[in-house]
Amino acid sequence: MLYYSTRKNRKATGVSFAAAALTGLAPDGGLYVPETLPPYSPGVRNSLGSMTFQDIAFETIKPYVTPDIPDAVLGDLVQDAYSFDAPLLHVGDRLVLELFHGPTAAFKDFGARFMARAFAYLRRGEDKALHILVATSGDTGGAVAHGFYGVDGVKVTVLYPKGQVTPLQERQIAGLGGNVSALAVEGSFDDCQRLVKTAFNNEDLKKRLVLSSANSINVARLIPQAVYYAAAAGKAFTGTIDALKTGEAVGKFRAVEKQPITFCVPSGNFGNLTAGLYALEMGAPIRGFIAATNVNKSIPDYLETGYYEARFSKATISNAMDVGSPSNFERLTAHWFSLKELRRMVRGVSVSDDNTRKTIAEVHKTTGYFLDPHTAVGWRGADQVYAEHNVPTGPLAVLATAHPAKFAETVQPLTGPIPIPPSLSKAIERKPNAQTIPAEISALLEALS
């Protein structure tokens, strides 16, 4: 498999998976995309509802990493990376795909843990350390920090907007130490992302450091996220929905077998949605997607008007989605040139903070289920789309992208106490240690010196 830049000279030269993953950005500043989206074999496509998550991960990722990661290595890698599940539950009148059972209680664990193990293999025998720069608006930083913590030959620097992440997120980002450093940027996520991209194009820095990224700008983080879409779509298609634990609310949803699923994806930088589109193109039984954003709605507006305008991000209670200029818009338009084609697969919608809070309270009152603010944006977004449009029949699943306890300051006043998973209990005890810098490239370069 070869990878090309999303920009104008994308067909000039192709690079291997290893080169695309370890460099992060293409030399022209574009994002790497695979030359093709390889279909599942008929046998795999027909067995998605019965295969283990690890087996689906192997079959999904394999064509993208061949020949750089041999099958035997990939098999061990996915077994080690995915020691947790992604249950598909029925809650109220819909399904919820829970993606917060990893070590940092956010969906970013799926990509970060794969990347850490893949990079360790691809960098075997290298003398010079790999330095990962990552910008985060919340959960990415914690997942990357945890995924790469203690990995030999790798250093990580996480940039996050100062004062715009939750206290728990900050402890996950800046509380590990060791080979993980944190920079609190006096600005927005867009400023953090701009600094990272500018650093990657700085020739002097590239001479001093071996740089890579771990945002969804890196294709190595995006590809593993296609796995949980394929696994959930297979379960929904065969009606094998996971049961809720005893004592939890049982919803009204009844599985509809042999119907492709619609996913509602809380969206910020749009890497997660792009991964879902990869799974659809590979042949998973997916009908389409709802892209639910908060008030940072550049792509929903594009889908409605056909005009894309990058904007400054606005702070919301669903802070991991506070992205005014989504990087993965480049990937969407590189893969799917036609706006008509994108509209066929994706509907866009935005949700206010007021409606996010109302949804958290209403869903807990009627079902007993806790939503974090990002998942609540997805839940309300699906409600809005289904109320306004004639949506095809079939199951609907909302992606639960983070555990609600990560946003207790917002959720608990609306629902009461939230059970805290052990992974977050450990993080709460950490003391964050971050260096504050202005949103200037000179400050970042000095911090990296």
- Location of structure tokens 């919608």: 349
- The first and second tokens of residue 14, run together, are 């192709």
- Report yes or no on whether pTM surpasses 0.75: yes
Q: What residue numbers bound the domain in which 256 lies?
A: 84-106+221-420
Please indicate, yes or no, if residue 188 is contained in any of the structural domains: no
Residue 239 lies in a domain: yes
- Sequence-distant (≥ 6) Cβ neighbours of residue 421 within 8 angstroms: 105, 403, 405
Residue 253 confidence (pLDDT)? 46
Is position 141 within any domain?
A: no
Lookup: tokens for 63: 């064509």
Beta strands 210-213; 130-135: pairing state: parallel
In a domain? residue 359: yes
CATH code of the domain containing 314: 3.40.50.1100
Residue 177 lies in a domain: no
The two tokens of residue 324 are 């005014």
pLDDT single digits (tens) 254-274: 555 688 999 999 999 999 999
The backbone torsions φ and ψ at residue 108, rounded to the nearest 5 degrees and listed phi first, read -65, -20
Across the range 425-444, mean pLDDT stands at 92
pLDDT of amino acid 11: 57
Q: Is residue 316 part of a domain?
A: yes
Within 10 Å of residue 67's Cβ, how many Cβ atoms? 10
Tell me whether residue 393 is exposed, middle or buried, using C-beta atoms within 10 angstroms of its C-beta: 0 to 12, 13 to 18, 19 or more: exposed
Per-residue buried b or exposed e for 315-336, using 16+ beta carbons within 10 Å of the residue's own CB: bbbbbbbbbbbbbbbbbbebbb
Does the active-site annotation cover 108? yes
Q: What is the pLDDT of residues 25-59, one digit of tens each?
A: 888 888 999 999 999 999 999 999 999 999 999 99
What proportion of the chain, given as a percentage, has pLDDT over 70?
95
* Domain total in the chain: 1
User: How far from chain centre, in Å, is Cα 316?
Assistant: 18
- β-pairing verdict for 3-5 and 32-34: antiparallel
- Which pLDDT does position 206 carry in this prediction? 87
**306 occurs within a structural domain:** yes
The side-by-side arrangement of strands in the sheet containing 130-135 is 210-213, 130-135, 154-161, 180-186, 435-438
Give the angle 52-292-262 at the CA atoms, nearest 5°.
45
Question: Out of 11, 108, 206, 365, which one is annotated catalytic?
Answer: 108
Residue 19: both structure tokens together: 């080169």
Q: What is the pLDDT of residue 390?
A: 65
- β-partners of residue 263 are 289, 397
pLDDT in tens, 144-173: 899 889 888 889 999 999 998 888 889 999
Q: Which two tokens mark 120?
A: 């360790």
| Domain presence at residue 237 | yes
Highest-scoring range by mean pLDDT, 204-208, 227-231, 388-392, 403-407: 227-231
Question: pLDDT tens-digit profile of 364-400?
Answer: 999 999 999 999 999 999 999 988 876 667 889 999 9
**What's the confidence (pLDDT) of residue 213?**
82
| pLDDT of residue 320 exceeding 90 | no
